Amino acid sequence: MTSGFGVQGSRPYEPAIGLEIHAHLLTKSKIFCGCSAAFGGAPNTHVCPVCLGLPGALPVLNRAAVDDAVRASLALGCTIHDTSIFARKNYFYPDLPKCYQISQYEQPLATGGRLGGVRITRVHMEEDAGKSLHEGFVDSDRKTYVDFNRSGVPLIEIVTEPDLRSAEEAAEFFSRLRATLVWLGVNDGNMEEGSLRCDANVSVRPTGSPTLGTKAEVKNLNSFRFLQKALEHEIARQIDVIAEGGRVVQETRLWDPAAGRTVSMRSKEEAHDYRYFPDPDLPPIVVEAARIAEIRASMPEMPEARRERFVAQHALPQYDAGQLTQSRALADYFEAAVAAGAPPKLAANWIMGELARKLKEQGGEIAHSPVTPERLAGLIALVDAGTLSGSMAKEVFEKMYASNRTAAAIVEAEGLSQIDDESQIAALVANVVATNANAVAQIRAGKTSAFGFLVGQVMKAAKGKANPKRINELLQKALGSGDSSIGNVSRRGH
Ligand SMILES: [Zn+2]
């Protein structure tokens, strides 16, 4: 049976993948207490009786976390429910001292959205657990420490329908979701620090079958690459099991990046029964329609809308508009440069070209670029006015990036201004024409490539500072039939 896979026109099996994504919300304090929700800090310094789960401590909901969760849900096209309920998810783990996690179960905050064609089942709010840190590899030497700084950091869990049909599609969706949350400002997108985490439910079925196969849950997929690799492996594994006449077992599996495969963590029989019930310490979350309207009104223009506006308003090509809306910071930078007077297409060229190259080279972020949008506009204005040639502008840009000075200040201090004076350039042109008889003769004979050589000679004589447009004009004039010097050279040539 395996011989048919990938060989025939249609594949005998197709995967169905759904994702569960946990995203930290970027609130200052935790979801049920006033402790800092910031990442890092010495272990167990952002803690209090509430997030340590001490007996008698009572949670109080952070409304800023609800606002962020509503904002994310709206961006995903979900329906926000006016009333939702916090529930206790009961299980034991050393990093969960009160033996339950406060989450939402039967009545989540939001349901029924869509992102890029993938249906969003639900968005619910919950608290994060602490973190176990393991040390040592030998049993006698093994230690585990627990850091509760992360305990109580607000999370949203975003659950999709099993609408994804390949590992690549799943990775693309995760990337798009990340970009959306970062754009909204509700999540920092930092997967290494664990502020965005992804689990995947994956099953395979005969292509065209209306029912889904038995699914396995794959955990620990904290990069786009891991997600794609793990799913590729897991899909192939399940197809092999079925092709050999076996059946896929419902279980939780872990991605082992070192071994490049998924391994069984626990079967359905060992799965937790979380015994959810409404948390008696917390009232229902009530989100008024007026508050939803306020949040909706305060939401940033989302990437797709902004891209279309860049095309319509600034007459940018689709490609440029797409590049400039890769992040909100990039799009903001572009619009600030345009607001400071830069022609849009020239600003786009500089941002996607020199600035992007420099930021990549230096590992910098555009929001902290030493060349601000206003200063970039200043540089572009000098090129537009003919003060700087294109190649001089690139040099000046390098200096701006390194020295935190304006283009005008650099031009002034270093006497970099382009030679644009007609009589000065005409003198250089005349000299070059007189001393390059062969090239002039070639041009007269129709070999236009020699023209570029002469331009180069004039530029060399001007030490790179002459306005190339002006050189072109004056050289053409000098070689024209009405000019006596050309006539002389021409006669000599024949
Ligand atoms: Zn606390």
Per-residue pLDDT tens for 291-343? 999 999 999 999 889 999 999 999 999 999 999 998 899 999 999 999 999 99
Q: What is the pLDDT of residues 201-241, one digit of tens each?
A: 999 999 989 999 999 999 978 899 999 999 999 999 999 99
* CA 142–ligand 1 middle distance (angstroms): 29
* Apex 285 CA angle, 280 and 286, nearest 5: 135
Q: Is 54 left (phi over 0), alpha (psi -120 to 50) or beta?
A: beta
- Nearest alpha-carbon partner for 46 in 128, 152, 125: 152
247, pLDDT greater than 70: yes
Distance CA(290)–CA(295), nearest Å, equals 9
* CA 351–ligand 1 middle distance (angstroms): 43
Confidence at 388, pLDDT banded by 50, 70, 90 = confident
Give residue 10's pLDDT. Answer: 60
Q: What is the pLDDT of residues 174-202, one digit of tens each?
A: 999 999 999 999 999 999 999 999 999 99
Q: What is the pLDDT of residues 147-165, one digit of tens each?
A: 999 999 999 999 999 999 9
Give residue 493's pLDDT. Answer: 37
Residue recorded with tokens 């201090």: 413
* CA 47–ligand 1 middle distance (angstroms): 4
* CA 46–ligand 1 middle distance (angstroms): 7
pTM of the entire predicted model: 0.77
Ion ligand 1: residues, CB within 5 A, are: 33, 35, 48, 50-51
Q: Chain-centre distance of CA 485, in angstroms?
A: 60
Q: What is the pLDDT of residues 352-387, one digit of tens each?
A: 999 999 999 988 899 999 999 999 999 999 998 888
Distance CA(180)–CA(28), nearest Å, equals 20
Mean pLDDT, rounded, for 15-32 = 98
- Nearest alpha-carbon partner for 85 in 46, 35, 122, 125: 125
Distance CA(107)–CA(150), nearest Å, equals 25
Rounded to a whole number, what is the largest CA-CA distance in the chain? 107
* CA 68–ligand 1 middle distance (angstroms): 19
The pair phi, psi for residue 362, each rounded to 5°, is -95, -5
* CA 149–ligand 1 middle distance (angstroms): 8
Give residue 4's pLDDT. Answer: 40
Give residue 255's pLDDT. Answer: 92
Give residue 168's pLDDT. Answer: 96
